[in-house]
Amino acid sequence: MSSKPEKITVVMIIEVLGRPKEHLIETLEDLSMKINSEAGVKITNKKINEPILIEGQKDLFTGFVELELDVQSPKIIAGLLFKYMPSHIEVIEPENFVFKNSEFNELFNEITRRLHRYEELVRVLQLQMQKVQMEKQGEVKKEEKVIENEKEKKHENEKPKTKIKK
C-alpha cells in the first residue's frame, strides 16, 4: 500500500504577454479562476504581479501570477502542466513520495496520451500549411502564366506588320 499524501502543495508561476496592461491582469485573474475550478485543485495563495512594459516596446507588457495550490495527485499536476503551461512549478510538500508501479503507470500513460494528442495536432497543422503553400504555388504559377500570356500578346501587337505585295 502506498502512503499517498492527502495533498501535494505546489507553487506555479504563469506568465502572459500582451496589451493593454489591464487586459493582462484580467487574463491572469481568469486563468486563476479556471485553475481553481479544476477537479482536485485548490488555490491557497495567489499573487498577481503588476504587468511591466517590455524593454524596447511602446505598449507590449508582460505579467505573471504566482499560485500556491493544494493538488490531490501527481496526475492532476501533469494535467495542469499541459493545460496551462506554467513557466515554473515547484513541489513544496510532501518532501518524499511513495508510489505503486500502477500509480506511475497511470501518470506516465496520461503524459504519453497528451503528448500523442499534441503530436497529432502538430501533424494536422503541418498538413494544412503544406496545402496552403501548394495552393499559393499553384496561384503563383497561374499568375506567371497569365503574365507570360500578356507579354506574348503585347509582343505580338508590337511586331511590325509587313504587307505582302502581290
Q: Rounded distance, CA 1 to CA 157, Å?
A: 92
What integer pLDDT is reported at residue 162 of this predicted model? 60
pTM: 0.69
What integer pLDDT is reported at residue 1 of this predicted model? 41
Residue at 29: amino acid letter: E
Residues whose CB falls within 8 Å of the CB of residue 77, separated by 6 or more in sequence, listed in order: 8, 10, 71, 89, 91
Residue-wise pLDDT tens for the chain (166 aa)? 445 557 999 999 999 999 999 999 999 999 999 999 999 999 999 999 999 999 999 999 999 999 999 999 998 999 999 899 999 999 999 999 888 899 889 889 988 998 899 999 999 999 999 888 888 877 777 777 777 777 777 666 666 666 666 5
What integer pLDDT is reported at residue 98 of this predicted model? 86
What integer pLDDT is reported at residue 64 of this predicted model? 97
Q: Rounded distance, CA 157 to CA 166, Å?
A: 24
C-alpha cell at 60: 507590449
What integer pLDDT is reported at residue 91 of this predicted model? 96
The residue extents of the domains of the chain are 8-98, 99-145
The fold of the 8-98 domain, in CATH, is Alpha-Beta Plaits (3.30.70)
Contact 12, 69 (CB under 8 A): yes
Give the residue carrying C-alpha cell 501570477. Answer: 65
